[in-house]
């Protein structure tokens, strides 16, 4: 299963209908052929729908076909825990989020992910524990379609200083939160981050 976000609405690419109740009421689509995928993207963009389910035999192949309709932007992000086991959260444009951003020329994805966490949250002493997963989020600028592919890593930090939000990136608050107090279903966050948290806490 892959979760492909179109204007923060999920298009779930899967072999069979998911059992999770949060996907109930999604529009169902059957895979036809590659040149019909952009038309499906437009439907999800334009319709007043919660999201879509794209049923197919080979989700990985369909995901790659979808990618070909976009200019792909590589990004890196961090799922960061401190020594107390608390999770780093930040508020961007009024919603809770996790730190991430575009990879700069000349740096690896891992280096970019650490840099973005440092810049957005005013933190250091970070170490990557492992790769977690990729997320896929589309957007349009002046009619051109972009796909941000964010590579997420779980990280630890020994940092104990003051967290400083990067105001120029519309980040207004950064905090540590006990994961036991985070409910992905009710958290005021972006749908792509909500699904990332569902996947994180399911492990």
CATH 3.90.79.10 boundaries in the chain: 72-202
Return left, alpha or beta for 143; rule: phi > 0 is left, psi -120 to 50 is alpha, else beta: left
Q: Which pair of tokens denotes residue 85?
A: 């086991």
Name the class of domain 72-202: alpha beta
Residue 47 in this model has a pLDDT that exceeds 80: no
The span from the CA of 50 to the CA of 106, in Å, is 39
Classified as helix, coil or strand, 1 is coil
C-alpha to C-alpha distance for 145 and 140, rounded to whole angstroms: 5
| Residue 72 Cα to chain centre, angstroms | 14
Is the pLDDT assigned to residue 146 strictly greater than 80? yes
pLDDT tens per residue across span 94-137: 999 999 999 999 999 999 999 999 999 999 999 999 999 999 99
**Residues 151 and 116 sit within 8 Å (Cβ to Cβ):** no
Give the residue-averaged pLDDT of 59-68.
Answer: 96
Mean of the pLDDT values across residues 177-183?
Answer: 97
pLDDT, greater one: 162 or 47: 162
Q: What pLDDT shows up at residue 203? A: 63
DSSP 19: -
Handedness of CA 124, 130, 132, 133 (dihedral sign): positive
| Residues 79/66, Cβ–Cβ less than 8 Å | no
């Amino acid at each position: 299963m892959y979760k492909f976000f179109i204007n923060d609405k999920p298009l779930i690419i899967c072999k069979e209908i998911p059992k999770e109740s949060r996907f109930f009421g999604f529009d169902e689509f059957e895979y036809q052929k590659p040149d019909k995928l952009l038309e499906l993207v437009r439907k999800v963009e334009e319709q007043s729908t919660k999201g879509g389910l794209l049923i197919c035999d080979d989700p990985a192949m369909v995901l790659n076909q979808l990618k070909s309709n976009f200019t792909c932007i590589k990004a890196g992000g961090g799922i960061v825990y401190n020594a107390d086991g608390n999770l780093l959260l930040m508020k961007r444009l009024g919603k809770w989020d996790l730190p991430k951003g575009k990879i700069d020329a000349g740096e690896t994805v891992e280096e970019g992910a650490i840099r973005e966490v440092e810049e957005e949250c005013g933190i250091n002493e970070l170490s990557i524990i492992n790769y977690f997963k990729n997320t896929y989020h589309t957007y349009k600028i002046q009619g051109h379609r972009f796909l941000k592919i964010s590579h997420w890593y779980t990280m630890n930090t020994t940092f104990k200083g003051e967290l400083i939000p990067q105001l120029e990136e519309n980040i207004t608050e950064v905090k540590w939160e006990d994961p036991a107090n985070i409910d992905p279903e009710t958290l005021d966050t972006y749908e792509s981050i909500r699904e990332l948290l569902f996947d994180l806490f399911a492990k």
